Structure 1
């Protein structure tokens, strides 16, 4: 199974970024300086790549070679651009179904959701550049390889992706407990985007306001909420049920 690759050394990381590799995360030694690092730092800011500043002991554990104060994780997949993802959906005979994950942080939840999404024929998954669970070995394993079979797109802000999809007539449904509307009462047999939120906070308020519909699942027990991957599965399979 293909897993996240790890590279180290300032020049190596610079060349990886410039060659278009999908950098998942970069670990940089605290206090590092020098002309070559300044070149890397400018590139990181330009490409909006997530950086963690850590003690040298952390880098020594991550890499056994001469890391020069920089270690990077390369994603095992290549991400698709939002515009290309949407254009592909417009040229398909299948009714579009997008899945937007607003701040999901647990890699196993992420992997489970990817697996379910692939099984449900989701057109593509959209995640934010920052504040999202990485696609690493745990994600790959939990997804049972589905991560290699479904397009995944990174965007600067989920809300911008919502607005972009809406311009194509795609209705956005946010999963939230802050509504009286039950999912099963909605018409889901149309071009659609399902928005799932963070494990603790749910979908952010600004995105809830931007969504066309808000929906929840009925809770019959004493516990008020479901695990996000389970809730996502219920939402996606209701879409599948209505479309069959």
Structure 2
């Protein structure tokens, strides 16, 4: 990963400031206005973060996506450990609720998963180091600030991690179009690790073999699969429903 790491977008930057994430410097486009821009500048000054006005062309050099007139320079994302995620659940007195992503490659999908994970109270997300997207500026932007509140661990071997999660009592539930039961019939009130497969390929064979159960989302249309972030959202909200209603 590059030494210089930039995040762009009003929501991503303001949430980073609110969460006390380390920010080296803020760049604001000349002429940028609005309530959120004012809030960003105010928060930065309160925290002693330098703010520099630059041209939009300069912001384009820093950040390739839609920066909305604001870019923050930060250190690269620091991944958590799986044990850190389990500790969050323990400290809250809750059964672990962990999302395991098996090879998600689209930054927008990962960002969307993080947003839903935050909304549904997941304790963390686990991603693989290889053949999958990591926490990039694009993911941070797509998460709309959720990355500041959802712990992400990056592991070398998802299969081994599933076995370790089982050893500490998690029930591993995978989403698969050929699953044995409908997702709403599964018990998500137990400690759970929810496995979501990659775009187009689903859960890999070894990972699938290490799931305790596979669940399916009923579909009556012409297509036979859902976008990974949509499928994960349906399942995460089922966990939330069962645990809170």
Distance 1:91 1:240 in 2: 18
Gaps of 5+ in 2: 6-60, 63-73
Task: Report if aligned partners of 2:4, 2:75 keep a CA contact under 8 Å in 1.
Answer: no
SS of residue in 2 equivalent to 1:200: coil
* 2:114 equivalent to 1:150: no
Q: Secondary structure at the match of 1:100?
A: strand
Q: Aligned ranges for residues 25-104 of structure 1 at < 5 Å?
A: 76-104=76-104
- Displacement after TM superposition at 1:207 (Å): 1.0
Separation in 2, partners of 1:167, 1:112: 29
1:174 aligned residue: 174
2:81 and 2:88 mapped to 1: Cα distance?
11
Q: How do residues 142-221 of structure 1 correspond to structure 2 at under 5 angstroms?
A: 142-221=142-221
CA contact (8 A) 1:188 1:243 kept: yes
Q: Deviations for 1:12-54, whole angstroms, at most 9, x for unmatched residues?
A: xxxxxxxxxxxxxxxxxxxxxxxxxxxxxxxxxxxxxxxxxxx
Matches of 1:81 and 1:147, distance apart in 2: 15
The 5 Å alignment of 1:5-20 reads: 6=4
- 1:223 shift after superposition: 1.0
Measure the CA separation in 1 of the matches of 2:152 and 2:3: 18
Contact 2:127–2:134 (Cα < 8 Å) also in 1 = no
**TM-score, scaled relative to structure 2:** 0.68
- Take 1:175 and 1:155, find their aligned partners in 2: how far apart are those partners? 20
In the TM superposition, structure 1's runs of 4+ consecutive aligned residues that sit over 4 Å from their partners are none
State the distance in 2 between where 1:144 and 1:5 align: 23
List gaps (5 residues or longer) in structure 1.
8-60, 63-73
Q: TM-score, normalised by structure 1?
A: 0.68
> Could you tell me how far apart the structure 2 residues matched to 1:88 and 1:135 are?
20
Q: 1:181: Cα distance to partner?
A: 1.2
Q: CA RMSD in A?
A: 2.0
Structure 2 distance, partners of 1:103, 1:127, is 7
Paired position in structure 2 for 1:110: 110
Distance between the aligned counterparts of 2:186 and 2:96, measured in 1? 16
Which residue does the alignment assign to 1:26?
none
**Shift in Å, 1:180:** 3.4
Q: Give 3-state SS (helix, strand or coil) of 2:189's partner.
A: coil
